Homo-oligomer: A and B are copies of this chain.
Amino acid sequence: MTRAVDVVTLRDALASIHEPWSPQVVGTVNDCLAKVVKLKGEFVWHRHEAEDELFLVLQGTLTMRLRDGDRVLRPGELIVIPRGVEHCPAAEEEVHVLLFEPATTRRRGDAD
């Protein structure tokens, strides 16, 4: 199968998302996925047993709660949550994020 080689405009992909916490895949890199997502409010504490998870803030301010303290990310900042590390993303106002993570990653990790 031939894979299309198209330019993806993240702003357009985000414009098609109408619910927070609903990622949309924008690219596949081997067994990993790039996704855009809108976050607002507080998610749930969880961890991924086998997957690292990268968050890059595109717009807004993301608070990543970790057991040893919060990390605050602004546009152009990223954080990698290593596998096994409990975390809870939170955002007072809507924040736009690019995620990179293995395709096997379950959204709520061990919280389900």
Residues of A at the B interface (CB closer than 8 Å) are: 3, 5-11, 26-32, 34, 51-54, 56, 58, 66, 71-73, 76-83, 85, 98, 100-102
Contacts and interface: CB of A to CB of B under 8 A. Distances in A.
A8 B100 contact: no
- Please classify the interface of chain A as helix (H, G, I), strand (E, B), loop, or mixed, using the class held by over half of its residues: strand
28 contacts: A3-B82, A5-B79, A5-B81, A5-B82, A5-B85, A7-B71, A7-B73, A7-B79, A8-B79, A9-B77, A10-B56, A10-B77, A27-B54, A27-B78, A27-B80, A28-B52, A28-B80, A29-B32, A29-B53, A29-B54, A29-B101, A30-B51, A30-B52, A32-B100, A34-B78, A34-B80, A34-B100, A58-B76
